[in-house]
Structure 1
Amino acid sequence: MNRNIALSDTAFVLHAVPYKETSLIVELFCRESGRLPVVAKGAKRPHSGLRAVLVSFQPIHVRFSGRSEVKTLMAAEWAGGLLAPTDKALFSAYYLNELLMQGLGREDAHPALFDSYAQALAALAVGEDMTQVVRRFEIELLQALGYGLTLDHDADGQPIRPDALYVWLNEVGWSHSDGLGVLPGDDAIVEHGVPGQVILDLQSGVLTRAAASVLKMVTRKMLAAHVAPNGVVSRSWMEQLIKA
């Protein structure tokens, strides 16, 4: 990134904390610049133009500059065109933010993941099934970070069979399951067999609610291994609300 000139980007606010008396340090997820911390000077003042713009789950156009790791936010304006999630879906959206905060390195751009995040927020806002939306985003995040599921063959290089059950083994891939539970060894990533048809459907872009539920333990343990080893606080809130 050129640190000597002001740069513009489209972004979402992931997190914000107070800084000094009147300012905020805001973690942005930018389409071209990745996860980026900025100082929003005066954003806490009652009449600041930034106060109403720096909110979660809304796309904004930003301009920032600086040579240090934490940039200075020079301008921000609402980009429009997206409803914010509400009610139970709001907690799912916070969960996505927490995954991005823990999983993304600073200034590591992922434009496709940015688009996936925007699509997930839009789906949550219009009431699409939270389990499906969240699971799809988890899978896309893991893929973007280089830990994606292999969807066309098993650990032995054989094609996935629709009538077989599989378990995911870390650093290995899909292995046949006898359906009786987890295989021995510390590299086992899921306790229950995943039907081959679910894997093949996912390869074709199809993720039903039933499949999303089946894949829950796979993505959870992959995220624990590669993204959030200390856990995700908002997950428990989200799951309780989905069950309610």
Structure 2
Amino acid sequence: MLNAPQLQAAYILHTRPYRDTSLLIDAFTAQHGRISLIAKGARGIRGKKSRFKGTLQAFVPLLLSWRGKTDLLSLINAEPHMFPLPPLTGPLLACGFYLNELLTYLLYRYDPYPELFHAYQTTLYRLFDNPMFALRLFEKKLLAELGYALSLNKESRTHQALLPHQFYQFIPSQGLVDCFNQSIPQQFIFSGASLLAMHHESWDTPSHLLDAKRLFRLALNYLLEGKTIRSRELFIPS
């Protein structure tokens, strides 16, 4: 049983209609990780306004409580928490959807990720300043939290320090290794200088950010095992 009669910090990742009046919800919580909820009557009953109306929105910090004995929990209460973000619109909205899809597909239910929750919350605010930088930081943190932290300063086989002027190949099952084969597709090749910039999170040049996007996407695609992140189709500059 995963009862939470006391309000818990959470964000809505995804909602979809259920039967005539209810919603099925995927939520990301600070203490319990990703959970699945049913919000009974959330869409209104016979013209009556739901007590959840306008509350169960993505990217809004919430406090939720629930009860239940199965994988699908019943939402008891939901209320705003902290000062909300300005609405995400345009490319920033696509960035938010991207974050939510990653969490929905990659997190096991009911595994707590308190540091990742904080990183998600921080990333939503960072989007307004520098979305590319914010997404790369979050992707790096997500990979680490999933047990797939990339060694960005040492070669994975020899554990020798990466050299800025050398080039390295990314092998999803192994990491970054010395590149000796000239026939390797360019998308898997990275300069030591770019990898060291990722390690120090000092992405001062557009090329370093683009390399980080390419590397983290390769790593995440490996973990997604063929699942499609549809929000990637909505925007280009991420």
Q: TM-score, normalised by structure 1?
A: 0.87
* Equivalent in the alignment of 2:13: 14
- Which contiguous aligned blocks of 4+ residues in structure 1 show a shift greater than 6 angstroms? none
CA contact (8 A) 2:113 2:145 kept: yes
RMSD: 2.1
Secondary structure in structure 2 of the residue aligned to 1:43: coil
CA spacing shift, 1:168–1:31, aligned 2, 3 Å: same
State which of 205, 217, 222 in structure 2 corresponds to 1:220.
Answer: 217
Identity of aligned residues (%): 27
CA contact (8 A) 2:4 2:65 kept: no
CA distance in 1, matches of 2:225, 2:182: 28
* Equivalent in the alignment of 1:48: 50
CA contact (8 A) 2:33 2:113 kept: yes
Is 1:111 equivalent to 2:99 in the alignment? no
Secondary structure in structure 2 of the residue aligned to 1:224: helix
CA contact (8 A) 1:103 1:228 kept: no
CA spacing shift, 1:199–1:82, aligned 2, 3 Å: farther
Give structure 1 stretches of 5+ with no counterpart: 184-189
State which of 160, 170, 195 in structure 2 corresponds to 1:158.
Answer: 160
For residue 179 of structure 1, report the CA deviation from its aligned partner: 9.1
CA contact (8 A) 2:172 2:218 kept: no
CA contact (8 A) 2:97 2:231 kept: yes
For residue 22 of structure 1, report the CA deviation from its aligned partner: 1.3
Count of aligned residue pairs for this structure pair: 232
Secondary structure in structure 1 of the residue aligned to 2:201: coil
Q: Give deviations 1:59-90, integer Å, cap 9, x for gaps.
A: 10111111111111110100132413222110
For residue 111 of structure 1, report the CA deviation from its aligned partner: 0.9
CA distance in 2, matches of 1:228, 1:121: 26
Amino acid at match of 2:17: P
Secondary structure in structure 2 of the residue aligned to 1:238: coil
Is 1:97 equivalent to 2:100 in the alignment? yes
Counterparts in 2 of 1:192-231, with a 5 A limit?
192-208=188-204, 209-231=206-228
Give structure 2 stretches of 5+ with no counterpart: none
CA spacing shift, 1:87–1:169, aligned 2, 3 Å: same
CA contact (8 A) 2:64 2:76 kept: yes
CA distance in 2, matches of 1:175, 1:5: 46
Counterparts in 2 of 1:155-194, with a 5 A limit?
155=156, 156-177=158-179, 180=182, 182=184, 191-194=187-190
* Equivalent in the alignment of 2:229: 232
CA distance in 1, matches of 2:2, 2:132: 40
Secondary structure in structure 2 of the residue aligned to 1:215: helix
CA distance in 2, matches of 1:194, 1:118: 30
CA distance in 2, matches of 1:205, 1:191: 21
For residue 166 of structure 1, report the CA deviation from its aligned partner: 1.6
CA distance in 2, matches of 1:131, 1:164: 26
CA spacing shift, 1:89–1:179, aligned 2, 3 Å: farther
Is 1:33 equivalent to 2:32 in the alignment? yes
CA distance in 1, matches of 2:131, 2:24: 30
CA contact (8 A) 1:166 1:176 kept: yes
Secondary structure in structure 1 of the residue aligned to 2:79: strand
* Equivalent in the alignment of 1:186: none
